[in-house]
Structure 1
Amino acid sequence: MTKIAIFTIGQGDFKTGFPMGLEIREEGGNPLSEVMGKLPPSSRIPELYQIWQCAFINIKFVTSRMDVPKGTAKVAVPPTKEPLEKCQTSQEELKKSFKDWLNSESRELQKMRETFFTHLPDQFEEIRVFIQTSDPGLKKLPWNEWDIFERYTYAEIALVPPEYSRINLAPDAIAREQVRILAILSTAEDLNLKEEKQKLEGLPHAETFFPNPHEPAEIYDALQHEMGWDILFFAGHSSSSKMGETGEFFIRRDYGLSINSLKISLRKALSRGLQLAIFNSCDGLGLATELAGLNIPQVIVMREPVPGDFAVAFIKKFLQAFSEGKSLYVALKQAKDSLECWNKKYPGVCWLPILCQNPAQPPFTWPKLLKLPETRPVLVSPLLKPTPIWQEVKTLTGHLAGVKSVAVSPDGRMIASGSFDQTIKLWDLHRGELKKTLKGHTATVTSVQFSTEGILASASFFPDGTIKLWEVEGEQNKVELKTTLRGNDWVGLAIWSIAFNRDGKYIASGHNVDSTIKVWDIHREKIIATLRGHVWAVSQVIFHPKDGSIISSSLDGTIKIWDPEQGQLIHTLVGPSGWLSPAQAWFSRDVEVYSLALSSDGEILASGGTEDVIKIWRWGDRQLQQTLKGHSDTIQAVAIAPDGKTLASGGRDHTIRIWDLTTGKTQQTLGHSDSVNSLAFSLDGQTLISGSQDKTIKIWRWFPQGSSPL
């Protein structure tokens, strides 16, 4: 599992030193260790950096990406011996002094090293190292030269801003099946960007648009395009202010753009899913700082003026590795490592590419869009043991807003989906075709459920707040609205979740405003019980298949078990208990439980929420059995396969994780381009349905033979 090491460097200077803390955590998990320390004073480091910087810039780049004042001639001259030797010497001196500084004999730094090695024992594990600082001098230092990283094959550095927050997608954001790249190429006469353009045009599962650089308005229009972009790419000249606070990039020799001048357009692009900005140009830390102020997920820039031939070689290597499925961090490290020979020509040049990360956003991944038709056979090498896999076989589109809930009919032929667009859609599961769109609700359809007899129930949020029962005749493709259940109390008009009991005679509903669970008699069309005890919204309700009790989860952090016949609370599974528990839950919102799932035999209960972990409970003794860690954000949905051995979970980190409940290990990671709101297994356990905020429903199928299709 990927580990994250966060070095947080506080306010200080090279004369007095810097306070520094180290936190190590599993991706999506709780901290494994935290230790505080201090970087000692070293006035020599910034001096040596300036010496190397000047020597590096004085090398005559064959095709520099550094902008020069208008009228200054650029001479394409290979590096001469004297400047090259001076640059080599200054690079070695800086590297040695930097290592000595970080290898200080101070007790605090030694403890930090020991903590790092103790909690990161696997040298082949992917490690994301965050350097969190606002100091412009620290941002430029070659942190990858710190010898504690030498033993790790997949450790890569990213700069992290002191302040950041998560970006929420706009309601009109459109789901994309290919990587969309907006590529801005400078027209400067001294640059040859042909190879970069060819590489961008040849990327798999991607479409690239090149706006006309002679029409600046076209760049603004493109950034605001309703389809959105995944990657913003620029190649050309750029520069940053002295303190690295602002930057500018030049699409023409006489026309530059600042991040501030594009702020509105960039915010729209970010709200529509922009994940990564790449500035393959000089001196880009100012650009990265300004983009960090907009909370962009990731930026790759060059820290100093960069030779044009190296810039081309780097971007080709990086895009090749990234588009082949390597993680963003591993692709960046492999690209730099593969270009080590360039340090002979330009000493220290491999220090220049740097990733800047917003930790509130998951790293962007290049999608693998391999479709696996049901009818094609699978080839398995006789020398390899086949590995079972889950594979996407169909993406269903048609909803105009995010999908809140999905359900599979008991005969396994149909999918129902409820959406923020206030509609319910019925789909043929095997053909992946839309059968019917049901209208009638006047608010978000928050929950859809089938009874064992095939009756479809749908519930909606405020101001509708009704439950509708639909009789679905799949063979004849007929749907009839049987009845609408509506309470008398207006505060109940906000339903988050519904569930049928085992014989389909009763429905339980979980409510937002009054934090109650209501039990409805379907035939009498009335509420027969109102269960009170939660102090925040009830996020999910489930009937136990054997004893008929109701299990409910809430944003107050509790899971409660109720006797619906007696209208009594039986047990509080997690959260505050005792006579003060309502007050405690009211004032503590650190933990919110969003999702529940129960195994078909009723013996295993799973829950997920804002803790980014899934908790597995034994029903018999109501005890916590295991905790599954892997997600990096709130878990919105959990589902247990009918065999009770497999669990699926989905969350705001856009991923679906498949877990082996026997071992507690992740078997596979799938996903969407936005939050996963709902999951449902088919009755045979061979198909998984996922509904997402990206407006799509995906059908995943289990292939026991694994491998690749013909």
Structure 2
Amino acid sequence: MKLAGLKSVDNAHEESIWACTWVPPTQARPSLLLTGSLDETVKLWSSDELKLERTNTGHCLGVVSVAAHPSGIIAASASLDCFVRVFDVDTNATIASLEAPPSEVWQMQFHPEGHTLAVAGGGSASVKLWDTASWKLIATLSIPRPEVPKPSDKNSSKKFVLSVAWSPDGKRLACGSMDGTISVFDVTRAKFLHHLEGHFMPVRSLVYSPIDHRVLFSASDDAHVHMYDAEGKSLITAMSGHTSWVLSVAASPDGSAIATGSSDRTVRLWDLSMRAAVQTMSNHSDQVWGVAFRPQEGSTDRVGRLVSVSDDKSISLYDYS
């Protein structure tokens, strides 16, 4: 497996780009790239040329997270202005505005079937679940404290929830906290199951393997990437290679690799059979906040793509083969 640089767009936004995701294709158009920036805008880009299709405004502070519905018809952006804006991808019409108290809107992700939006609740130490038909809040999954408090648990801000990920079957939800713990929930029963231990610094990004719903990957400020058996509560392996915070992790559609972005300004490709980094890309001149593999478009799609976004305001697109 290998990455090859295809295209970079400098000054893609006016400020740092903190979030990216792929919008699935519809019958009317191919997939699109969605980026969110501290410049308060969300932008949509053509999938292969990275040609700017549209700039969406609507937030009054920086955008920290973006998520795309599996239908490809709607998407959501979360901002430091305490709102999640849900919008129609093709018209930019606002479908819903979800309000939260200050510092309670961070990463978010749609359920694989699209009926629920999970939003990491920041300072509320919880994950909020929103019904995507009514846009009503349907559940709050609160993180219990570990039975044996860590020395760092003197204040509740350590339970600040930064990241969230659905399992491919939609039955489990994992969230990563500022203190390094990862909490796993049974969503159908709205029940906390267990913590996954091993990190001692913020867990900024999580992703499940697309081919094994037990396997969860985490990216942490401790410069490590962990691979867990999320059901068996065990750490499978800890992978090192980055020299600073790991800010984002994404899994390839075939499940054989993951990619990570770091404040060491690099993107790394990891071979999961070797459990090691096999390639380092240094396209960016500042920390890399987001990486995302493009989902495969049908069984005939053999063209792999990876994208990365950075504090340097640029987007880089790579061929993944």
Give the TM interval when normalised to the shorter protein: 0.7 to 0.9
Per-residue Cα deviation, 1:173-198 (whole angstroms, up to 9, x for no partner): xxxxxxxxxxxxxxxxxxxxxxxxxx
* 2:312 matched residue in structure 1: 653
CA distance in 1, matches of 2:90, 2:143: 37
Deviation at 1:440, TM superposition (A): 3.2
Pairwise CA distance, 1:444: 4.0
Corresponding residue of 1:568: 234
Question: For the Cα contact (< 8 Å) 1:550–1:562, is it kept in 2?
Answer: yes
Task: Note if 1:502 corresponds to 2:165.
Answer: no
- Equivalent positions of 1:454-473 (< 5 A) are 454=114, 455-462=116-123, 464-473=124-133
Q: Work out the CA distance in 1 between the residues paired with 2:70 and 2:237.
A: 31
Q: Is the 8 A contact 1:404 1:446 kept in 2?
A: yes
Matched AA of 1:479: W
- Displacement of 1:392 in angstroms is 1.0
Q: Deviations over 1:378-421 (max 9, x none)?
A: xxxxxxxxxx6221111111112111110110111001111111
AA aligned opposite 1:595? S
Q: C-alpha displacement at 1:645, in angstroms?
A: 1.6
Q: For the aligned residues, what is the CA RMSD?
A: 2.4
Q: Deviations over 1:66-117 (max 9, x none)?
A: xxxxxxxxxxxxxxxxxxxxxxxxxxxxxxxxxxxxxxxxxxxxxxxxxxxx
Structure 2 residue 55 is the aligned partner of structure 1 residue 395: yes
Query: How do 1:92-171 residues align onto structure 2 when only pairs under 5 Å count?
Result: none
In structure 1, how many angstroms separate the alpha carbons of the residues matched to 2:305 and 2:254? 14
Alignment-derived partner of residue 135 in structure 2 = 479
Q: In structure 2, how many angstroms separate the alpha carbons of the residues matched to 1:400 and 1:516?
A: 32
Is the CA contact (8 Å cut-off) linking 1:634 and 1:651 kept in structure 2?
Answer: yes
SS of 2:51's partner is strand
Q: Read off the aligned partner of 2:235 and give its amino acid letter.
A: L
* Mean CA deviation greater in 401-410 or 520-529: 520-529
Q: What is the alpha-carbon distance in structure 1 between the residues aligned to residue 100 and residue 277 of structure 2?
A: 42
In 1, Cα distance between equivalents of 2:243 and 2:113:
40
Counterpart Cα distance in 1 of 2:109 and 2:270: 24
Distance across 2 between alignment mates of 1:448 and 1:624: 27
Q: CA separation in 2, counterparts of 1:573 and 1:427?
A: 37
The reply to whether residue 631 of structure 1 matches residue 284 of structure 2 is: yes
Would the aligned equivalents of 1:552 and 1:560 in 2 still touch at CA under 8 Å? yes
Q: Aligned pair count?
A: 263
User: Deviation per CA, 1:341-391, whole angstroms, max 9, x where unpaired?
Assistant: xxxxxxxxxxxxxxxxxxxxxxxxxxxxxx99x9xxxxxxxxxxxxx6221
Structure 1 counterpart of 2:86, one-letter code: L
Is the CA contact (8 Å cut-off) linking 1:451 and 1:504 kept in structure 2? yes
Question: Could you tell me which residue of structure 2 aligns to residue 555 of structure 1?
Answer: 221
- Distance in 2, Cα, partners of 1:637 & 1:560: 17
Amino acid at match of 2:118: A
Name the SS for the 2:274 alignment partner: coil
Contact 1:419–1:444 (CA<8 Å) still a contact in 2? Answer: no
In structure 1, what residue type is equivalent to 2:117?
Answer: L
Change in CA separation of 1:494 and 1:449 when aligned onto 2, cut-off 3 Å: same
- Give 2:97's match in structure 1, choosing from 413, 422, 437: 437
What is the alpha-carbon distance in structure 1 between the residues aligned to residue 261 and residue 250 of structure 2? 9
Q: Which amino acid aligns with 1:541?
A: L
One-letter amino acid of the structure 2 residue matched with residue 546 of structure 1:
I
Task: Provide the rounded CA distance (Å) in 2 between the counterparts of 1:554 and 1:390.
Answer: 29
Match of 1:515 in 2: 180
Q: Residues 590, 606 of structure 1: CA spacing in aligned structure 2 closer, same or farther, 3 A cutoff? A: closer
Distance 2:140 2:235 in 1: 28
More strand by share: 2
Q: Deviations over 1:550-591 (max 9, x none)?
A: 11110000001111222111101115xxxxxxxxxxxxx951
Check conservation: 2:143, 2:183, Cα contact below 8 A. Answer: no
- TM-score by length of structure 2 reads 0.76
Q: Which residue of 1 aligns with 2:193?
A: 528
**Cα separation, 2, equivalents of 1:637 and 1:460:** 19
Decide whether the 8 Å contact of 1:441 with 1:460 is kept in 2: no
Equivalent residues of 2:183, 2:194 under 8 A apart: yes
CA distance in 2, matches of 1:636, 1:613: 10
Give the alignment's TM-score, normalised by structure 1: 0.35
Identity of aligned residues (%): 31
2:66 paired residue number: 406
Instruction: Mark the runs of 5 or more structure 1 residues left unpaired by the alignment.
Output: 1-168, 170-271, 274-370, 375-387, 576-588, 663-710
Partner deviation per Cα, 1:91-148 (whole Å, 9 max, x = no partner): xxxxxxxxxxxxxxxxxxxxxxxxxxxxxxxxxxxxxxxxxxxxxxxxxxxxxxxxxx
User: d(CA) in 2 for partners of 1:560 and 1:637?
Assistant: 17
After superposition, the C-alpha distances for 1:469-504 in whole angstroms (9 at most, x for unaligned) are 11112xxxx312111111233456311100000111
Asked if 1 retains the 8 angstrom alpha-carbon contact of 2:78 and 2:107, the reply is yes
Following TM superposition, by how much is the alpha carbon of 1:447 offset from its aligned partner in structure 2, in angstroms?
0.8
Partner of 2:268: 615
CA–CA distance in structure 1, aligned partners of residues 61 and 157 of structure 2 = 25
